[in-house]
Amino acid sequence: MALPFPPRLAEAARDIRAGRLSPVDLTELCLARIARHDPELRAFLSVRAEAARVEARRADAEIRSGLWRGPLHGIPLALKDAIDTAGERTTIGSRVFADRVPTQDAELVTRLRRAGAILLGKLECHEFCLGGPALDAFAPPARNPWNRDLYAGGSSSGAGVAIAAGLCLGAIGTDTGGSVRIPAALNATAGHKPTYGLVSNHGIHPLAQTLDHPGPMAWTSEDCALILAAIMGPDSKDPATLGLKPSGDVAATGAGIAGLRIGVVRNFSDGPDLATPAINANLEETAATLARLGAEMRDIVLPDLWDYTVCNTTIMTSEAFANNAPWLRATPDKVSAFTRGRMFLGAFLRAEDYQRARRMRRVLIAATRAAMAPVDAILCAGMLAPPAPVASMRKFYYLQRPLITAPFNVTGMPALGVCSGFDADGLPIGVQIAARPLDDALVLRIGAAYEAATPWRERRPPLAE
């Protein structure tokens, strides 16, 4: 018998609060779907079924007794396996850490538990959040539910797959160059990279601290907003967290977008060796939809996408090697060939190139800020091409073309990836919506308005019965 897809997070939250849905039943549905579909999809590295059942029963009892903790109470979520959970294995997708059991929860896990979320388990991530899709890795890459042979994105690949396949209602990923938004685009989910410093990195394996952004992934923008509201905020254990609140109520995504000024960035995708015609056409259709919803669409031009990419790659490669050098030197045979090569590259970068990239970051922020002066938010493509077959992907493919998600890691701006349609082969297409730092509520509001006006949230990937 076919198992139904679970409801969207926001819908489940309303039903749980009203007593129409039991966290126990919802958790059992997710566990049954994991048992049915995950052997093929490989989204989970570990499933804590019994612990999740205990948490679900506790949530059920609390809500029945009148203690409702908020919209995540009783909601089954999952975590990228780079995020520490006390007493439970956290591998960062590597043989190096195959038996690593942290003693403390990451700060955002503490906040999710406090909010009453049910944690189903840990999700596949590319080794050290960088080295995929590697077929010789500790865990093989999660499989794209829209076409099992194609790349599912990364490095938060398990999260994108699990959400699209309805194995959980939301997840936390991490994004250093696009690792929340790329799997969101390739799996047709939503994924939000918050403002840099809005969510604590404490207890998360660092890839590149000055670019790392933990963020929520879910089926809709509204769902992402509800997760973000629970995990954001200052943390004394992460000095990079901001002491400031976002502008507006992050969870209030229903206000519409009439009168907003949104700049369309075409120079990231429309040009030689950039996006496919289908992706550029999709960007125009998305802009037209936002205009119909009352937004004032304007053209804006941002700096060359390669500038952001080079800045991001230089900083990320340098910091990633520095963070992971001890085990790369001591146990290189435990690391996949993809990871080893990409990480080793950082050993050969010059210190002054790292420093110049950090200066370039400031220059790019200034140019971005100036270009954005006439608008409230921007819209650009979320990908340059459909996903490639995993078997065809090469170790250093990312040096051959610019990375359309990198600008918002470099600038620290909040950036939301949403599904904006499907191509002729039935594969998802995504766009990004970004705004000034701390305007997370604004981008989530735009995403929610767009999703409500389009049919893309009604289509789920084909799964075996």
Partner 1 sequence: MTNDPSPPRILSREAFAALAAANGLAMSEAELAELHEAHGALARLLTRLDAAELRTGETWPDSVVAAWER
> Which tokens in the block code for residue 145?
């539910």
Q: Which of 3, 345, 452, 463 binds partner 1 (CB under 8 A)?
A: 345
Minimum Å gap between C-beta 396 and partner 1 is: 4
Q: Which of 11, 17, 332, 459 binds partner 1 (CB under 8 A)?
A: 332
Tell me: does residue 318 bind partner 1 (CB under 8 A). no
Instruction: Tell me which of 35, 135, 362, 391 binds partner 1, using CB under 8 A.
Output: 362
Asked whether position 32 contacts partner 1 by CB under 8 A, the answer is no
Residue 202 burial (10 A CB sphere; 0-12, 13-18, 19+): buried
CB of 38 to partner 1, least distance (A): 33
Q: What is the DSSP letter of 204?
A: B
Give 196 or 450: the residue with its C-beta nearer to partner 1.
196
Instruction: List residues with catalytic annotation.
Output: 80, 155, 179
For residue 59, report the phi and psi dihedrals to the nearest 5 degrees.
-60, -45
Amino acid at 210: T
Closest CB to partner 1 among 3 and 337?
A: 337
Q: What residues between 238 and 267 interact with partner 1 by CB under 8 A?
A: 240, 242, 244
Look at the alpha carbons of 385, 260, 247, 256 in this order and tell me if their dihedral is positive or negative: negative
Q: Is the peptide bond before 133 cis (omega within 30 degrees of 0)?
A: yes
Judged by CB under 8 A, the residue of 17, 53, 245, 358 near partner 1 is 358
Q: Does the footprint of partner 1 cover residue 317 (CB under 8 A)?
A: yes
For helices 107-114 and 221-231, angle between their N-to-C axes, nearest 10 degrees: 110
Q: Which of 96, 300, 360, 433 binds partner 1 (CB under 8 A)?
A: 360
**Residue 271 touches partner 1, criterion: CB under 8 A:** no
Write b or e for each residue in 153-189: b if 16 or more Cβ atoms lie within 10 A of its Cβ, otherwise e: bbbbbbbbbbbbbbbbbbbbbbbbbbbbbbbbbbbbb
* Token code pair at residue 285: 């259709």
The residue from 356, 401, 459, 460 that contacts partner 1 (CB under 8 A) is: 356
CA distances (Å), 7 to each of 152, 164, 168, 281, in order? 23, 12, 10, 31
In the bound complex, what is the minimum distance in angstroms from residue 358's beta carbon to partner 1? 4
Under rule CB under 8 A, which residues in 180-239 are in contact with partner 1?
A: 195-197, 210
Choose, by CB under 8 A, the member of 54, 61, 359, 374 that binds partner 1.
Answer: 359
Q: Confirm or reject binding of residue 395 to partner 1 (CB under 8 A).
A: yes
- Using CA atoms, how far apart are residues 43 and 182, in angstroms rounded to an integer? 15
Strands of 170-175's sheet, edge to edge? 44-47, 118-123, 76-80, 170-175, 213-218, 190-193, 415-422, 428-435, 377-381, 261-265, 296-300
- 289 binds partner 1 per the rule CB under 8 A: no
Element (H, E) at 337: helix 337-344
Q: Quick one: 43 or 316, whose CB is closer to partner 1?
A: 316
Q: Which residues bind partner 1 (CB under 8 A)?
A: 195-197, 210, 240, 242, 244, 306-307, 309-310, 313-314, 317, 328-329, 332, 337, 340-341, 344-345, 347-353, 355-363, 365-366, 369, 395-396, 399-400, 411-413, 436-438
